[in-house]
Amino acid sequence: MKILIIEDEQGLREVIQESLEKEKYIVETAHDFISGFEKIGSYDYDCVLIDIMLPNGSGLDLVRELKALRKKEAVIIISAKDAVDDKVAGLDLGADDYLAKPFHLAELHARIKSAIRRKNHDGDTAIVWNNLKVSPEQRTVLVNNEPLVLNRKEFDLLYYFIINPNRLINKTALAESVWGDYTDQADSLDFVYSQIKNLRKKLKEANAETDIQAVYGMGYKMS
């Protein structure tokens, strides 16, 4: 998978690049409107991350250019501007998602995977794992085509596990993925434990062909 990051803030650009390369993505970068314009016109990518506020131009114009060229890349706008008008404008132009700064890298990774998956499956974002099917947009779970009822946090945890299969995830990362900046208000680590316990019980009772394993002193992984 090949990703282009168009971001003028060097520190953030490098952090995103490093995190994506650790996930085995091929990553290219551009630091302003002109270099971004040249790259989207010359090369193809699976996903393009575009900041709105760029030197020499607007990221929204780059979204326009991608659509004018009938390019197939998934497009995610990343911007410190969280105004509704900017979000609506970007999505109306054809962007697939919008992520306001600051954001957790884990959330960015999940958004990228979801956007690419929609592009590759004609809008279907469902994730299938053995006899388990998770539909993030509908927030539904099927086991052997039968509905599995989960509460909001159980669903969020399952979704995070299923987009990070066979990966050891510590409790803090799980708490941040589900509660974000409000982690401390949720008695996070103890609550994560109780929610995972309930989730594992429900999956087992539904005969789901998956297991969320506890790795003592380190965290959890789904296998």
Over residues 99-111, the pLDDT tens digits come to 888 888 888 988 8
Name residue, tokens 């086991």: 143
Nearby residues of 196 by Cβ (< 8 Å), 6 or more positions away: 157, 174, 212, 214, 220
For the chain, give every domain's residue range. Answer: 2-120, 127-222
Q: Strand pairing partners for 76?
A: 49, 97
Over residues 20-69, the pLDDT tens digits come to 998 888 899 999 999 999 999 888 888 999 998 899 999 999 999 888 88
Scanning the chain, the segments in alpha helix (DSSP H) are 10-22, 33-42, 59-68, 84-92, 105-120, 152-162, 171-179, 188-205
Over residues 122-179, the pLDDT tens digits come to 555 678 889 999 887 788 999 999 999 999 888 888 888 887 778 888 877 777 666 6
pTM for the whole structure: 0.58
Q: Categorize the per-residue pLDDT at 180 as very low, low, confident or very high, splitting at 50, 70 and 90.
A: low
Task: Identify the pLDDT of residue 164.
Answer: 77
> Across the chain, how many H-helices and E-strands are there?
8, 13
Task: Identify the pLDDT of residue 146.
Answer: 94
Residues 102, 12 contacting (CB under 8 angstroms): no
Assign domain 127-222 to a CATH class: mainly alpha
Q: Categorize the per-residue pLDDT at 185 as very low, low, confident or very high, splitting at 50, 70 and 90.
A: very low
For the cut 60, the answer to whether the pLDDT of residue 181 exceeds it is no
Q: Give the CATH superfamily of 2-120.
A: Response regulator (3.40.50.2300)
